[in-house]
């Protein structure tokens, strides 16, 4: 197998085989003769800017009417003569092999020597690759990709859990069992943050403080459940929870404190709500896939990669839409990483950078204004105007929601080409999320059809 090369000072030509299907391609530069008469193959990009003579110091160039990369690859399979050299930027020099070339289409004439055909094994491999590429293109037409973004603890992981409940049939017993220790640990860590200093609670405090950060076991120890139950009845703990905006308390703390009797029951298996309210810090990039009819939806959660965003964000420039989550209830809280920065201000800054990124100039955004239940509870006791002085709506829930929505939408610098679709959500409410996801699917389908040129 292979092609014998003769190095002559004439152009490299590509001649269609008689009866072969005619393929029209824009001519590309594929080869050149240097000043010493040696032939050197140049990278594909040389054909785009036509600067090969100035850039590589060549005396003559060769053009072909077939795809330059096909010609280059097949030449790379040849046994080159001693005075033949490959350009340094060519993939792997004369030992590089590929079966992408379809030999039935062309004979190649290199000077006076005609090439021979590729064996049937290579052709079969080529056909296999072509068929797979065709299948992949067909699948891509029915695929909708979304990128899930938002500040920490905005509810991204909860939305993904809801998708599993709604589209994947929920959690089996083994999966539920895996959440038990997470829920125990969330409960204990939350109680530690609220411990009072009253002498009558010293024994209970000691029990909780003596526990490891990660509690192992299938059953919550009796002394632990008794201690948490007793502490939750303490007025000091309840006051600490009421002032939780002053420290980093999980949103699920009260829910788990109230469920301590059920959680301490032998054979306890977490419910859907228990799982939805559990908290585990996201690391890495996760992908969630679900099908609705003929369409496949892929949702990428990059919550664990925020600090390195600029290094990977361009990899998602072809997504159909961005899904951005904001926790409305965090308007009066500070960042865990930097307690001088307001969480809502951080969310606005993050949204601004994503919305106006050069990678997403025309990409629509689905904005989830999340945790509306906690926001409604908090608003009467913690005025929004204390943190956003230009807000004048008092504790009116609707006015407060409209104000925060406007703050985000106003950041869009590409309103002519980018749509923002907003939804007020409670990510732990499965029925509401099911309704919202249904509405989103209609939006995504319209965007997808428009991208495919069908609208």
Residue numbers annotated as active site:
153, 158, 279, 301, 305
Q: Is 272 among the annotated ligand-binding positions?
A: no
Q: Is 357 among the annotated ligand-binding positions?
A: no
Q: Is 407 among the annotated ligand-binding positions?
A: no
Q: Is 279 among the annotated ligand-binding positions?
A: yes
Q: Is 280 among the annotated ligand-binding positions?
A: yes
Gap between the Cα atoms of 351 and 368, Å rounded: 12
Q: Is 310 among the annotated ligand-binding positions?
A: no
Residue appearing with tokens 């909860």:
158
Structure token digits, residue 102: 């379809």
Q: Is 31 among the annotated ligand-binding positions?
A: no
Q: Is 301 among the annotated ligand-binding positions?
A: yes
Q: Is 252 among the annotated ligand-binding positions?
A: yes
Secondary structure in 3-state letters for the chain? CCCECCCCCCCCEEEECCCCCCCCCCCEEEEEEECCCCEEECCCCHHHHCCHHHHHCEEEEEEECCCHHHHHHHHHCCECCCCCCCCCCCCCHHHCCCCCCCCCCEEEEECCEECCCCCHHHHHHHHHHHHHHHHHHHHHHCEEEEEEEECCCCCHHHHHHHHHHHHCCCCCHHHHHHCHHHHHHHHHHHHHHHCCCCHHHHHHHHHHHCCCCCCCCCCCCHHHHHHHHHHHCCHHHHHHHHCHHHCCCCCCHHHHHHCHHHHCCCCCCCCHHHHHCCCCCCCEEEEEEEEECCEEEEEEEEEECHHHHHHHHHHHCCCCEEEEEEEHHHHHCECCCCCCCEHHHHHHHHHHHHHCCHHHCCCEEEEEEECHHHHHHHCCCCCHHHCCCCCCCCCCHHHHHHHHHHHHHCCCCCCCCCCEEEEECCCCCHHHHHHHHHHHHHHHHHHHHHHCCCC
Q: Is 55 among the annotated ligand-binding positions?
A: no
Structure token digits, residue 24: 């029209």
Q: Is 277 among the annotated ligand-binding positions?
A: yes
Q: Is 157 among the annotated ligand-binding positions?
A: yes
Q: Is 153 among the annotated ligand-binding positions?
A: yes
CB 69 within 8 A of CB 48: no
Burial class (CB in 10 A: 0-12, 13-18, 19+), 287: exposed
Q: Is 178 among the annotated ligand-binding positions?
A: no
Gap between the Cα atoms of 302 and 156, Å rounded: 10
Q: Is 302 among the annotated ligand-binding positions?
A: yes
Q: Is 176 among the annotated ligand-binding positions?
A: no
Question: CB atoms < 10 A from the CB of 305, how many?
Answer: 15
CB 289 within 8 A of CB 296: yes
Cite the annotated binding site for Mg(2+) by residue number. 157, 282
Cite the annotated binding site by residue number. 153-158, 251-252, 276-282, 301-305, 370-373, 427
Cite the annotated binding site for GTP by residue number. 153-158, 251-252, 276-282, 301-305, 370-373, 427
């Amino acid at each position: 197998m292979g092609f014998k090369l003769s190095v002559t000072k004439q152009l490299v030509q590509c001649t269609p085989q008689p009866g072969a299907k005619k393929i029209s391609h824009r001519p590309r530069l594929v080869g050149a003769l240097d000043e010493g008469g040696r032939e050197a193959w140049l990278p594909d990009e040389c054909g785009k800017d036509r600067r090969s003579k100035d850039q590589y110091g060549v005396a003559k160039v060769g053009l072909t009417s077939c795809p330059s990369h096909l010609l280059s690859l097949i030449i790379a399979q040849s046994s080159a003569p001693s005075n033949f050299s490959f350009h340094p930027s060519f993939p792997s020099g004369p030992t590089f092999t590929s079966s992408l070339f379809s030999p039935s289409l062309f004979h190649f004439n290199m000077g006076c020597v005609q090439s021979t055909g590729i064996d049937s094994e290579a052709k079969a491999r080529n056909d296999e690759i072509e068929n797979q590429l065709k299948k992949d293109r067909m699948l891509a037409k029915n695929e909708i990709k979304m990128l899930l973004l938002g500040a920490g603890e905005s509810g991204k992981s909860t939305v993904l859990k809801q998708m599993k409940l709604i589209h994947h049939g929920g959690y089996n017993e083994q999966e539920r069992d895996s959440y038990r220790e997470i829920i125990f640990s969330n409960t204990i860590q939350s109680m530690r943050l609220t411990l009072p200093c009253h002498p009558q609670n010293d024994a209970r405090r000691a029990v909780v403080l003596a526990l490891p950060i990660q509690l192992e076991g299938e059953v919550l120890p009796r002394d632990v459940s008794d201690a948490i139950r007793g502490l939750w009845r303490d007025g000091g703990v309840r006051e600490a929870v009421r002032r939780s905006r002053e420290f980093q308390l999980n949103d699920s703390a009260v829910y788990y404190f109230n469920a301590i009797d059920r959680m301490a029951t032998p054979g306890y298996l977490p419910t859907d709500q228990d799982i939805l309210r559990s908290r585990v810090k996201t690391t890495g990039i996760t992908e969630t896939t679900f099908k609705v009819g003929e369409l496949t939806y892929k949702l990428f959660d990059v919550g664990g990669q925020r600090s390195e965003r600029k290094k990977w964000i361009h990899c998602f420039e072809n997504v159909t839409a961005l899904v951005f989550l904001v926790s409305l209830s965090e308007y009066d809280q500070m960042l865990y990483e930097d307690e001088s920065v307001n969480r809502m201000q951080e969310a606005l800054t993050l949204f601004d950078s994503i919305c106006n990124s050069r990678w997403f100039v025309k990409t629509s955004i689905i904005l989830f204004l999340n945790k509306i239940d906690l926001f409604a509870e908090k608003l009467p006791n913690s005025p929004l105007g204390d943190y956003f002085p230009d807000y004048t709506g008092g504790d009116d829930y609707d006015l407060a929601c409209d104000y925060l929505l406007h703050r985000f939408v106003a950041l869009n610098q590409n309103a002519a080409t980018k749509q923002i679709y907003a939804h007020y959500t409670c990510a732990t409410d499965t029925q509401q999320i099911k309704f919202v996801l249904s509405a989103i699917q209609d939006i995504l389908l319209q965007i997808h059809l428009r991208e495919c040129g069908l609208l």
